Amino acid sequence: MWRFRYVWDNIEAMIRNKTVLLGVTGSIAAYKAVDLASKLVQAGANVDVVMTRCATEFVTPLSFTSITHRPTVTDMFEVPDDFEIEHIALAQRANVVVIAPATANIIARLAAGIADDMLTCAVLATRAPVILAPAMNVNMWENRITQENLTRLRARGFKMVEPVTGPLACGSQGKGRLADVEDILTVISQALRAKTDLAGKRVVVSAGGTQEPIDPVRYVGNRSSGKMGFALAEAARDRAAEVTLITAPTALDDPIGVTVVRVDTTLQMRDAIARAAARADVLIMAAAPADFRPAAVSGSKIKKESTARMDLHLVPNPDIISEVRGNLIKVGFAAESEDLVRNATAKLKKKSLDLIVANNITEAQSGFGTDTNKVTLIDSRGKIEALPLLPKSEVAHKVLDKVVALLSAGPTNQGRNGRRK
């Protein structure tokens, strides 16, 4: 539930006052499109619904009209009198077109460029991004014809919200269920985000607190929730970056549209980051890698009767971000409880960073586990910018605004960072 609330901030900001053309086609999942329309309206969108004839067999147009307060269009030749609209106008005023659920039939018709009803005409006539959220029987989904059609549409720039695996209406199990409404909303807000200022850039983000095993059951860990790193990965993705998220264990689901690498320990994170950073333009270390790990890990569970007291001998872990060298922008975080700017500036220099995001973990609503953060951005030229308390999603965009500026200004830590430029 929290995940949806978390995504909701982004969604509302992107969708408000936008016009969404929602195409509904003939699948049992059509009833879920009513929920999608409702959430879009709640987020402040103007929603035009176009239903195929088959879709009206599953849900009534009135269900959508009641929610959108706009006429629901069902056929090219039966447009309501009081609603002067035709497919070109619908197509032109849409900021985004989303077809949910999208059947194998509509996918095939779109792939062939057929325009024989209101929805297919509108899709052909629009210049807005088009998103398809397919839903169908697993065999229809896996059929090579469907997959070839999807490949063709992807190559033409159509965006997909892949169906998920689970029990299907036909009684079988497999991939074919309509994606969660919140995932569809995420992709819609992504498509609407005007900024594509990280297009062509590879961004690596780390998140979460690493876990250093003591035995197969116990570990040394910390209180990092991973929320800031996940927010950064999603924000970079929304700005068109190619994102790799390297995360220690968290309770968070994989963000869609991001390559996720899950690790447990600081040593594993170091290896994953070294691999990903070798071809990255930006590294953002929002993770809290454990600074120390147990010197020896017991292969079996340590029984409490076996020892009167337990001493942990810890050895230092490598400092991951300091080890990364190359032609990339390095952004670190500094979690401090005192002397915020002085301590963070010292870390920025010591670790050869281009930017450090400093937060005072003792402040209310700021730090571990919260959905908000109050940070100060300090760059390697000594520029300091204190931000107010903001949702982590907004903090993420502020950090990325700085990253974009740093990318266009060129490397600032050339010598220390060993850059080749």
Q: Could you list the residues that contact ligand CTP (CB under 6 A)?
A: 266, 285, 287-289, 291, 317, 319-321, 332-335, 347
Closest CB to ligand CTP among 185 and 283? 283
CB closer to ligand CTP, 214 vs 356: 356
- In the bound state with ligand CTP, the residue whose beta carbon lies nearer, of 16 and 342, is 342
Judging by beta carbons within 10 Å of its beta carbon (0-12, 13-18, 19+), is residue 23 exposed, middle or buried?
buried
- Structural contact between residues 16 and 10, judged by C-beta atoms closer than 8 angstroms: no
CB of 416 to ligand CTP, least distance (A): 15
Report the residue count for the chain: 421
Cβ neighbours around 53 below 10 Å, total: 14
Closest to ligand CTP by CB, 12 vs 319, is 319
Nearest distance in Å: CB 326, ligand CTP: 15
Q: How far is the CB of 324 from ligand CTP (least distance, A)?
A: 8
| Bridging pattern class, strands 259-262 and 19-24 | unpaired
399: its two tokens: 């950090």
Minimum Å gap between C-beta 419 and ligand CTP is 18
Strand (E) positions, 219-322?
219-220, 242-247, 259-262, 282-285, 292-294, 314-316
Active site (annotated) includes residue 54: no
Distances (CA, A) of 57 to 24, 40, 52, 354, 403: 11, 23, 9, 58, 50
DSSP 135-167: ---HHHHHSHHHHHHHHHHHHTT-EE---EEEE
* HSE, side-chain direction, 13 A CA sphere, residue 208: 23
Q: Choosing from 41, 160, 170, 240, which is the catalytic residue?
A: 170
Classified as helix, coil or strand, 223 is: coil
User: Distance of CA 185 to CAs 14, 41, 155, 179, 374, Å?
Assistant: 10, 11, 22, 10, 27
Residue 263 and residue 224 in contact, taking contact as beta carbons nearer than 8 Å: no
Q: What is the CA angle 8-14-19, rounded to 5?
A: 115
Three-state secondary structure readout of 81-119: CCCCCCHHHHHHHCCEEEEEEECHHHHHHHHHCCCCCHH
Least distance from ligand CTP to the Cβ atom of residue 28, Å:
46
How near is the Cβ of 317 to ligand CTP at its closest, in Å?
A: 5
* Smallest distance, ligand CTP to C-beta of residue 330, A: 9
Select 321 or 404, whichever has its Cβ closest to ligand CTP. 321
Of 226 and 332, CB closest to ligand CTP: 332
| 163 or 289: CB nearest ligand CTP | 289
First-last CA distance in the chain: 46
Please state the closest distance from residue 251 (CB atom) to ligand CTP, in A.
19
Residue whose CB is less far from ligand CTP, 141 or 333: 333
* Residue partners of 82: CB distance under 8 A and separation at least 6: 71
Active site residues: 170
